[in-house]
Amino acid sequence: MKGSKLFLLFAILVLALSACTAAPTTAPTQPPAAEATQPPAAEATEPPAVEATEPPAEEPVSVSGTINLYTSEPEDQVNMLVNDFNTLYPDVTVNVFRSGSGEVIAKIQAEQQAGQILADVIWFADMDFFKSLADQDLMMAYEPKGSEAIDEIYHYNGDRYHEVRQIFNVVAYNTTLVTEPPTSWKDLLKEEYAGRVGMPSALYSGAAFNQVGTFANMPEFGWEFFEQLNANGVVVEQGNGAVATKLSSGEFVIAQLVDSHARGQALAGSPVAHIWPEEGALLVPTPIGILNSTQNPPAAQAFLDYLYTDQAQALFAEMGYISVFPDAATPEGTPDMSNLKVILPDAEFINANRDEIRSRFEQIYGAPAQ
């Protein structure tokens, strides 16, 4: 599948803004022109020449100081990006709060209730929460430099938040323990894998929350699918990182995992591969944006600009991510993209049932392991 097909899928996910059309106007009628009479021409005199002066050159904005980044991205990857960012902006300190999307959201909500959100930049997998902040006029409209080269469908809500790469939830497996690669999400229910199936918690991981909220409302899955997983002894870890580690070690045979983690493990030499499930891989939006309350707009904007540079995009490729740039090569270990069928998150159902989804998930599986 070419990049244009993925653009179309993102376009379906993002709500189109209603266009306003102006009322037609009629040209004013003019009175008939009166014949003009001209006075005698006066002898022209030239004013003395004035030496032109150029306006002073605008001084570049100094990029320095501190910004706070709240994110659910893997800690080692965030540290790599921050260190690389500092090669371009050595005078900017990036303080990182990293946790699962649920805990990042809880921190933001607690700070908002206390009177001030301390984050400058936020980056995690919960599009609906970003929209709620934008609806409160808390997100800054800003188009990062370099991002004009990507399709506009990756710029959300009037440039208030953006995609910098793509991820999908997929079925991953240990290649030394599985002789016949899986083909379906329902392979996680096979009795031969009982007690050795892994998945991240929807109470912690934004990607997992999107998966549960979407599948729960699909007739071919529903809550019954998650109850069957529990009956098959699925082990629920906090996040995708823990699932990937246990899949690599052989503690898990098969798992629900984000595709970049699966490819990252494989690129590191672990016996891990993944497939695009026949029912579809779940697209997981992971937007990034700047809070209007930031005390350091130049540094926050510089960080977003950096993520669209060639060097940042090269790092994303090394980490196993599929790019948002249309002509970028797919990372090593990516299955044939022509076999990729995409399931879009059910944003409407998730938005209307957030608390119920969390409550039902906890009833089935309990709280996530610490």
> Do β-strands 254-258 and 168-174 pair in parallel, antiparallel, or remain unpaired?
antiparallel
Residues 312 and 273 in one domain: no
Residue 256 lies in a domain: yes
Grouped pLDDT means (10 residues each) for the chain, 370 residues: 51 43 34 39 46 47 92 95 98 97 96 97 94 97 96 94 96 96 98 97 95 98 98 96 97 97 93 97 96 98 98 93 90 88 93 95 83
Residues 102 and 250 in one domain: no
Residue 362 corresponds to which tokens in the numbers above? 């906890």
Residues 89 and 115 in one domain: yes
Q: Which residue type sits at 342? A: V
> Do β-strands 165-166 and 235-237 pair in parallel, antiparallel, or remain unpaired?
unpaired
Give the pLDDT confidence of 332-358 residue by residue, as tens digits: 889 888 889 999 999 899 999 999 999
Q: What is the C-alpha to C-alpha distance for residues 304 and 291, in angstroms, rounded to an integer?
A: 12
Residues 151 and 192 in one domain: no
Among residues 152, 96, 160, which one has the least CA distance to residue 127?
A: 160
Q: What is the C-alpha to C-alpha distance for residues 271 and 178, in angstroms, rounded to an integer?
A: 10
Residues 122 and 202 in one domain: no
Q: What is the C-alpha to C-alpha distance for residues 358 and 126, in angstroms, rounded to an integer?
A: 14
pTM across the whole model: 0.78
Residue 261 lies in a domain: yes
The DSSP string of 240-281 is: HHHHHHHHHHTS-SEEEEEHHHHHHHHHTT-SEEEE--TT-E
Report whether 326 contacts 5 (CB < 8 A).
Answer: no
224: containing domain: 168-283+340-365
> What's the pLDDT at 367?
76
Residues 111 and 127 in one domain: yes
Residue 35 lies in a domain: no
Among residues 208, 283, 259, which one has the least CA distance to residue 8?
A: 283
Residues 220 and 251 in one domain: yes
Residues 357 and 304 in one domain: no
Q: What is the C-alpha to C-alpha distance for residues 227 and 76, in angstroms, rounded to an integer?
A: 34
> What's the pLDDT at 333?
87
Residue 22 lies in a domain: no
Among residues 102, 352, 345, which one has the least CA distance to residue 203?
A: 102
Residue 346 lies in a domain: yes
Residue 324 lies in a domain: yes
Give the pLDDT confidence of 88-118 residue by residue, as tens digits: 999 999 999 999 999 999 999 999 999 999 9
Q: What is the C-alpha to C-alpha distance for residues 288 and 70, in angstroms, rounded to an integer?
A: 10
> What's the pLDDT at 46?
47
Residues 350 and 317 in one domain: no
Residue 46 lies in a domain: no
Total of domains in the chain: 2
Residues 84 and 220 in one domain: no
Residue 86 corresponds to which tokens in the numbers above? 């500092």
Q: What is the C-alpha to C-alpha distance for residues 65 and 295, in angstroms, rounded to an integer?
A: 10
> What's the pLDDT at 62?
78
Residues 234 and 350 in one domain: yes
Residues 150 and 132 in one domain: yes
Report whether 144 contacts 304 (CB < 8 A).
Answer: yes
Going from the C-alpha of 90 to that of each of 63, 79, 305, 330, the distances in angstroms are: 9, 14, 15, 31
Residue 273 lies in a domain: yes
CATH at residue 313: 3.40.190.10
